[in-house]
Amino acid sequence: MQKRRLGRTGLQVSEIGYGAWGIGGSEWMGAKDDESLRALHRALDLGVNFIDTALAYGRGHSEQIVGQVVRERREEIHIATKVFPKNLTWPARAGVPVAEVFPPEHIRHCCEKSLRNLGQERIDLLQLHVWRDEWLEQEGWRDALLGLKAAGKVRFVGISVNDHAPETALRAVASGLFDTVQVIFNIFDPTPAAALLPACLAHDLGVLARVPLDEGALTGSITPDTTFPEGDFRNDYFGGDRKQQVFARTEALKKLLAPEAGSLPELALRFCLSHDTVSSVIPGMRRVATAEANAAISDGRRLSPALLEKLKAHAWPKNFYS
Ligand SMILES: NC(=O)c1ccc[n+]([C@@H]2O[C@H](COP(=O)([O-])OP(=O)(O)OC[C@H]3O[C@@H](n4cnc5c(N)ncnc54)[C@H](OP(=O)(O)O)[C@@H]3O)[C@@H](O)[C@H]2O)c1
């Protein structure tokens, strides 16, 4: 497993990280804890040392599973988690003051809860689960985060950028207040490469590429007949005629696989890792088989400039979250 520097944190993180939303057991339905535990252990066996979770994932359940596994291991594992927006609104809306979203006592309370769920005394990376640049000049949240750092409860702080809106975090990147950004970055949405990634490079922030498989679309396994468990958010995400659209798009992408990638997930993850500014790509992988397939991709190979150029034509401006 290749490691990369997580920006100014200086942490050396596995370039394949573990996205722990799916194992939380809400929104993503169908995860079984024993299988999640096996998948997470397998990923760590294969050199993954970075896990991205959130207090909101299964109301702490994802953190509890992550904490259980990390406590069973001897090696150093870096855990990132997130403070959820108090108004429970994803993404953050323009014009809503930060005092309604991240009041200081909420930040401190969430951090304490996460520490308990994880069974840790310190969190490596605490991220705000939504962000808007207009909050930079507003008071409260900054002192709360700095206070948690000063108290030794949090090592580094970051933001999770609003869905498909990398331009809403450019001032935060330049502010010097944050150590990392987490952003949707995949073949369908390469827009962070235009301004956000160069800004992260210039200001030395770590970059976590989230949703690299577009919630499963870029696995190439979604067909017009695919169904999801009842209550699963993907029933909305891939609702209406979106499965047909995804199928047409991924069938076209499959023609680009050979010789540089053996499968669509491999192509999708290699796409992210071909950008040196990305510190870690964090696919969800609830099964041993997906953990093994993804860990195997970390071999230092980059997609060729010619293929990266061809992939530009497969960008797909959309927002299935809205
Ligand atoms: N606002 C935010 O901050 C935010 C929002 C969304 C996500 N995230 C973070 O980003 C992470 C990744 O996003 P995600 O989990 O939502 O979606 P994703 O990584 O784009 O896709 C996950 C899906 O791809 C499948 N998969 C993974 N590797 C595969 C492979 N090699 N072959 C076939 N299928 C494969 C997984 O299968 P199995 O699970 O069945 O193994 C799962 O169904 C999350 O877990 C979370 O940590 C953050």
* pLDDT tens-digit readout, 65-81: 999 999 999 999 999 99
Average of per-residue pLDDT across 171-198: 98
Of residues 183, 130, 118, the one with CA closest to residue 154: 118
Report pLDDT for 322: 87
178: phi then psi, degrees, rounded to nearest 5: -120, 150
Whether the pLDDT of residue 60 is over 90: the answer is yes
Whether the pLDDT of residue 108 is over 90: the answer is yes
186: phi then psi, degrees, rounded to nearest 5: -155, 180
Whether the pLDDT of residue 204 is over 90: the answer is yes
284 CA distance to ligand 1 middle (Å)? 3
Q: Is 284 in the pocket of ligand 1 (CB under 6 A)?
A: yes
Summarize pLDDT for 22-49 with one digit per residue, the tens: 999 999 998 999 999 999 999 999 999 9
The secondary structure of 40-83 as a DSSP string is HHHHHHTT--EEE--TTTTTTHHHHHHHHHHHH--S--EEEEEE
**Whether 10 contacts 205, CB under 8 Å:** no
Report pLDDT for 285: 98
Q: Is 166 in the pocket of ligand 1 (CB under 6 A)?
A: no
Summarize pLDDT for 83-92 with one digit per residue, the tens: 999 999 999 9
For ligand 1, atom 43, the nearest C-alpha belongs to: 216
**Whether 17 contacts 48, CB under 8 Å:** yes
Q: Is 36 in the pocket of ligand 1 (CB under 6 A)?
A: no
Q: Is 290 in the pocket of ligand 1 (CB under 6 A)?
A: yes
Token pair for 314: 């497969």
**Whether 177 contacts 151, CB under 8 Å:** no
Q: Is 217 in the pocket of ligand 1 (CB under 6 A)?
A: no
| Atom number of ligand 1 nearest to Cα 91 | 1
Residues forming a β-bridge with 78: 50
* Burial bucket for residue 201 (CB in 10 Å: 0-12, 13-18, 19+): middle
Q: Is 81 in the pocket of ligand 1 (CB under 6 A)?
A: no
Of residues 207, 213, 198, the one with CA closest to residue 161: 207
* Burial bucket for residue 10 (CB in 10 Å: 0-12, 13-18, 19+): exposed
**What is the pTM (predicted TM-score) of this model?**
0.98
Of residues 136, 132, 127, the one with CA closest to residue 182: 127
Summarize pLDDT for 11-24 with one digit per residue, the tens: 999 999 999 999 99
20 CA distance to ligand 1 middle (Å)? 8
Average of per-residue pLDDT across 197-225: 98
| Atom number of ligand 1 nearest to Cα 127 | 3
Which residues contact residue 108 at a Cβ distance below 8 angstroms, ignoring those fewer than 6 apart? 144, 147, 148
Average of per-residue pLDDT across 261-275: 98
The DSSP call for residue 16 is B
Q: Is 123 in the pocket of ligand 1 (CB under 6 A)?
A: no
What average pLDDT does the structure give for the chain? 97
| Atom number of ligand 1 nearest to Cα 129 | 3
- With b for 16 or more beta-carbon neighbours within 10 A and e for fewer, the 219-236 pattern comes to bbebeeeeebeeebebee
Torsion of CA 230, 283, 43, 40, to 10 degrees: -30
- With b for 16 or more beta-carbon neighbours within 10 A and e for fewer, the 109-123 pattern comes to ebbebbbebbebeeb
Average of per-residue pLDDT across 115-136: 98
